[in-house]
Amino acid sequence: MQTRKLGTLEVSALGLGCMSMSRSFKPIPDRQEMIALIRTAVDRGIMFFDTAEVYGPFVNEELVGEALAPVRDQVVIATKFGFNLDLITGESLGGVNSQPEHIKQVAEESLKRLKIETIDLFYQHRVDPDVPIEDVAGTVKDLIQEGKVRHFGLSEPGAQTIHQAHAVQPITAVQNEYSLWWRLPEEEILPTCEELDIGFVPFSPLGRGFLTGKIEENTTFDSSDLRSRIPRFTPEAMKANQNLLEQLSKIAEKKKATLAQIALAWLLAQKSWIVPIPGTTNLSRFEENIGAAQIELTHDDLREIENAALGIEVHGARYPEELDRMTGL
């Protein structure tokens, strides 16, 4: 697996998003199978793993910590703070919380769960409108000086927030949703990252599974599945959005690749400092995803993909309204 730089932080060209290993989509996978999958990922060259206190909550960090303990010196572990959780029970107290004291408490608990001495990359999970971003950056700066954190990141910030935070504590990576069917970061976020030498980490790079081609208009989702509440996954929207997959399928066939591999290869081809973090609980899907790193898209390929994507309007919002309000975009 090739490596890339997020700022000064070297990681594998693809990371592994671990959220679905312990939350979001039921049934929740077997813990030992997920530990085995994470360790297989390390064997295959993945060195960048993404988790958060809110995944579970808490149990995903514990899973990642146990899985990576034998290879701690070979990997980069990213986790996140910022949701308003009871730090003992994990119960949601509603909304977000980036009060400085809360950030420090989250860091301490995450270090214990991950079984590590330093968090490699510590993201603010969502912007807190009640706490100046300068205070957030200053708190993480203190944690870096104490040796508890190495690098600072933001998830779903706006461009102004990035500039304000970066002036206090240099940002290593910004993590926003980005894929062939959600391209808003191209307007302001990617230019800002390029200007400030900040790496970019796309989450949901496969459109929460839609860009794999495995989801059809008659696909249904369990009530526990976030997609059951997302407008983009209504039957009407999925039917309309099949047009994008039909166009990408032609390109995938020509490249002897899968739809998922084309979607990931397209992201990798956008900038050398972009590192997607597809998540999966399935070994065969993992093998498929990492195969994307071996696909070289030519200028003509990229132009063909661009023409296909720009010629199709994607239907449906990417989040339910209450979640969309939590982003800084």
| % of residues, the chain, pLDDT over 90 | 86
pLDDT at 324 over 90: no
CA nearest neighbour of 188 among 169, 212, 163, 168 = 163
pLDDT at 233 over 80: yes
Interatomic CA distance for residues 89 and 91, integer angstroms: 5
- 182 contact partners, CB below 8 Å, separation of at least 6: 204, 207, 314, 318
Q: Which helix (H) or strand (E) holds 141?
A: helix 133-145
In terms of pLDDT, which residue wins out, 105 or 241? Answer: 105
Q: What is the pLDDT of residues 204-223, one digit of tens each?
A: 999 999 999 999 888 998 88
Kindly state the tokens that stand for 77.
């572990």
Average pLDDT over residues 230-234: 93
1.10.10.1100, 3.90.1150.10, 3.20.20.100, 3.90.70.10: CATH of 3-324:
3.20.20.100
Q: What is the pLDDT of residues 63-94, one digit of tens each?
A: 999 999 999 999 999 999 999 999 999 999 99
Q: What is the pLDDT of residue 99?
A: 98
CA nearest neighbour of 288 among 43, 34, 44, 51 = 44
Average pLDDT over residues 219-229: 88
Question: Is 123 a known active-site residue?
Answer: no
Beta-strand ranges (E) seen in the chain are 3-6, 9-12, 16-17, 48-50, 76-81, 83-85, 92-96, 119-124, 149-155, 171-177, 199-203
* Domain locations in the chain as residue ranges: 3-324
Query: Mean pLDDT over all residues of the chain?
Result: 95
Average pLDDT over residues 9-36: 91
Q: What is the pLDDT of residue 27?
A: 79
55, 123, 178, 319: the active-site residue: 55
